[in-house]
Amino acid sequence: MSRTVPDRPANRVGRPRRIDIDDIIRVGRELGLDRLSLNAVAQRLDVTATALYRHVDGRWGLEATVGEDLLREFVAPDDPGTDVTTHLTSFAMTLWRFSIDRPGMAHYLQTLFPRGPVGRDLLAAQVTALTDRGHLPDTAFLLVNSVANLVIGLAAADELRRTHADSLVEARKEAVETLGHNATLAAARTGIPVLNAESRARVAMAAAVRGLVEFAPPGTPATAVFANLP
């Protein structure tokens, strides 16, 4: 005896795939901040971009969620035996390398720093390191913030150059060669070694940090620093 099996609905919709914030962070890290987007994450998770809004507040929230998770890996050096200049220069170059090694991080930090609790804790730790070395809290914050902004800007510029490296090879070569057409620039370049990106950043940050610390020595309130601006 045969029995009739009812037809299944032709357009039956299955239960949506369930994701959580850890899934979003994992895929976001795999993509990297330079390739991060709602659509890219959604495609990898096999969900709609709309589904992500249950966990992150749009593109800005997605960047902050992934960026803050990446920032947890940052470890700033803090040798109590070093002076303020050495400490800040070491902090700057550690942040430079951290940003360069993670495509998109420099742009993330340059857009707004700090964005969340991890960034705030990072900044607070550096302020504490300077107050431990004799700076007042307000001046310590001014110095740390200035150094961070400067080195993040250098990292962002280096990241941009690397992005266009292939197309800039000939243009860069031509630009260097044409410096010789100007007698002042040709003479100025004599004796200057060829520096890589990290060496250029170190020279710039060492000079900037020394100037900042000289301008705002330990014990100087921020109001006095601003009052003494040329």
Reported as a single tens digit per residue, the pLDDT across 106-147 is 999 999 999 999 999 999 999 999 999 999 999 999 999 999
Q: CA 69, CA 39: separation in Å to the nearest integer?
A: 20
Which of the pair, 51 or 175, is modelled with greater confidence? Answer: 51
Provide the token pair at 214: 């000289």
CB 137 within 8 A of CB 95: no
Q: Is there a domain that residue 90 lies in?
A: yes
Percent share of the chain, pLDDT over 70: 89
Higher pLDDT, 133 or 196: 133
- Tally of domains within the chain: 2
Residue 158: which domain range? 84-227
Which whole number is the average pLDDT over 22-50?
96
Question: What does the alpha-carbon distance between residue 131 and residue 222 come to, in Å, rounded to a whole number?
Answer: 13
Q: What 8-state DSSP symbol labels residue 33?
A: G
Rounded to the nearest integer, the mean pLDDT of the chain is 88
To the nearest 10 degrees (0 to 180), the angle between helices 84-100 and 137-163 is: 30
Which of 70, 101, 130 is the last residue in one of the domains? 70
Q: Residue 43 pLDDT more than 70? A: yes
Determine the Cα–Cα distance for residues 100 and 178; give it in Å rounded to an integer: 29
Distance of CA 201 to the CA centre of its chain: 15
65 and 171 share one domain: no
| Domain assignment of residue 53, yes or no | yes
pTM given for the model: 0.83
34 and 100 inside one domain: no
CATH number reported for the structural domain that contains residue 218 in this entry: 1.10.357
Task: Indicate if 107 and 208 belong to the same structural domain.
Answer: yes
Q: Indicate whether 88 and 127 sit together in one domain.
A: yes
Asked whether residue 164 is domain-assigned, the answer is: yes
* Each residue's pLDDT tens digit, 1-32: 444 434 333 443 555 578 999 999 999 999 99
- Supply φ then ψ for residue 101, to 5 degrees: -75, -10
In a domain, 8, yes or no: no
